[in-house]
Structure 1
Amino acid sequence: MFTFDQLAGFIAVAEELHFGRAAERLNMTQPPLSRQIQKLEKIVGAELLERDNRKVELTNAGQTFLEEARRLMALAERAPVTARRIASGRSGVLRIGFTAASGFSILGPLLEELSGIIPDVDVDLQELVTGEQLHGLLTGELDLGLARPPFDKETFDSHLLYRESMVLAVPSRHPLTLLARDISPEDFKEESLIMHSATQARYFYDLVVRTLPFNHANVVHTVSQILTMVSLVAANRGVAFVPHSATLLGIKGVEFLPLAVGDSEQVELHAIWNRRITNPALARLLRDLEFAME
């Protein structure tokens, strides 16, 4: 394998087309430079230069090799800089998991903030439910999650990004829209319900069961995604309990009504990360993000 000294010698000769000037440029004498070029040609297996007592010219193979040699030297010069940038968290890849609901609420503003803090770091986004995100954080497949509680606080560190209320999504012109007040359990006790999946949307399922008394016999559909729930409401298939951020979906044919519940902001979204941080980009992000400094 050739060395970078041999590449530098070849590039100098190729650009100067003169061994003497090339040797002077490299602060060396001509004989060792000539030997470097000869060794390089032997390693490459092709004549790179045509030389006689009067001139030096590149062969066709030499012209092609010159382009590659310059590229290799540029890579070699950039490699230490790139390594330092990655080590300092100024370059690399940050892998972020997010729930579907966070995708239409906080994800956009968060990415905008990230681009200002770590502009040269590539962000890899993966839409995953909370359980899948926690697994990815454990295995190292993810660096940061935007997920719902609960989670093991000994394994994961976190910051509460925001709280929001649950609202009742109903078809437009539904009789409940005429009440002009917060909706109580008595108001929806006879309504067909579109309910969260107890397995795929466990956080919302548990939250609704814990805070909103309803008749399980009224459940007509069970789904895992908020977007699907609101779409079914628009299709007049029933009413649904959804986070307030679902109002941002802009689906026609749906109205969102406030609920009369004890805690008006019971839905939580957290930024979660493994306490054993190995990605320098994440470490830098957590140092600089406003929520990490509070």
Structure 2
Amino acid sequence: MNYTLEQLRGLVAVAEELHFGRAAARLRMTQPPLSRQIQKLEAAVGAQLLDRDNRRVALTPAGEAFLAEARRILAIAESAPELAQRVSSGFSGLVRLGFTSASTFGILGRLLNELELHLPEVHVELYEMVTREQIAALAGQDIDLGLARPPFDPEMFDSRLLHREALLLAVHESHPLTELSRPVVPADLAGEPLIFHSQQKARYFYDLVVSMVPLAQERVVHTVSQVMTMLWLVSAGRGVAFVPASAQLLGVPAVTYLPLRTPIPQPVELHLLWPRHSHNPALERVLQVLDGLML
């Protein structure tokens, strides 16, 4: 359709005033140019939009239908500059967020609530990925921000600690270790069947547990990548597992969580991770909102 915004404004004015003279005065123009605008608009649309004679002006059925579209088009055109300004300033837009499955245990929801409160016009798209996948997606600009486990390449990425928590031992509720009145130490685990993190798919937790708790690897009976799977195996009496404290929120039945004696009281870390060079204005606003936030 080859019509202009001025022609649409002319139609709206005439439709609302039902008088060419008053509509022309409202638009600060004379009546003949307004009449020509309406004629050109009808030619472009291919339908008569107004019935007019010397006494009255009225919308035709086609005019009634087109008037609604004209108002919608004008509203979009008038709001477009403001929208562009808000996107350019980062107050409106899209941020694609990668997250590990374990980060959903109470962390992800609170983070999204914080962003919705302060940046209601920034839409957050979620992508569940392990840290390795997030790093590749960030490098390829497929996501803007990650909730990931260290370490990271400081030349490519910037990061900030978002959450820190304890490492716990998950045991079946009938396990004798539940009778301990102190934190579990490695000696307490002699002979215990271990449900362990995959060295390939859960490398962060694998390295963390190995560094924090000296263990005999030959006691590993199951190797898995997801905390939820570990807990269901513990619930079935298959062994004991090392999990982040937030795993308690999952509510898996027949599992008890025991404190571990570790060199660092809260060794499990979750970081915000983003590329050092991003062209997304909304990412900067999101980082400002989350600056200093510890969940």
TM class, shorter-length: over 0.9
Distance 2:261 2:53 in 1: 95
**1:223 Cα deviation (Å)?**
1.2
Partner of 2:277: 276
Secondary structure of the equivalent of 2:74?
Answer: helix
Deviations 1:97-135 (A, max 9, x none): 111111013222222222232122122122211111112
Partner of 1:200: 201
- 1:113-152 to structure 2, matched below 5 A, reads 113-152=114-153
Distance 1:189 1:58 in 2: 88
**1:217 Cα deviation (Å)?**
2.4
Partner of 1:105: 106
Partner of 2:49: 48
Aligned positions, number = 293
For structure 1, which segment, 58-67 or 89-98, has the greater mean C-alpha deviation from structure 2 after superposition?
Answer: 89-98
**1:61 Cα deviation (Å)?**
0.8
- Where does the alignment leave 5 or more consecutive residues of structure 1 unmatched? none
Partner of 1:69: 70
Matched, 1:252 2:274: no
% identical equivalent positions = 59
Deviations 1:38-76 (A, max 9, x none): 111111111111112222121111110000000000111
Partner of 2:161: 160
Distance 1:221 1:154 in 2: 37
Partner of 2:263: 262
Distance 1:116 1:89 in 2: 15
Partner of 1:38: 39
**1:210 Cα deviation (Å)?**
2.6
- Where does the alignment leave 5 or more consecutive residues of structure 2 unmatched? none
The question of whether the paired residues in 2 share the 8 Å contact of 1:146 and 1:270 is answered with: yes
What letter is aligned with 1:89?
G
Partner of 2:228: 227
The question of whether the paired residues in 2 share the 8 Å contact of 1:118 and 1:281 is answered with: no
**1:291 Cα deviation (Å)?**
1.6
Distance 2:264 2:26 in 1: 76
Partner of 1:185: 186
Matched, 1:95 2:96: yes
Distance 1:70 1:4 in 2: 10
What letter is aligned with 2:150?
P
Secondary structure of the equivalent of 2:230?
Answer: helix
RMSD between superposed Cα atoms in Å: 1.7
Secondary structure of the equivalent of 2:10?
Answer: helix
The question of whether the paired residues in 2 share the 8 Å contact of 1:117 and 1:289 is answered with: no
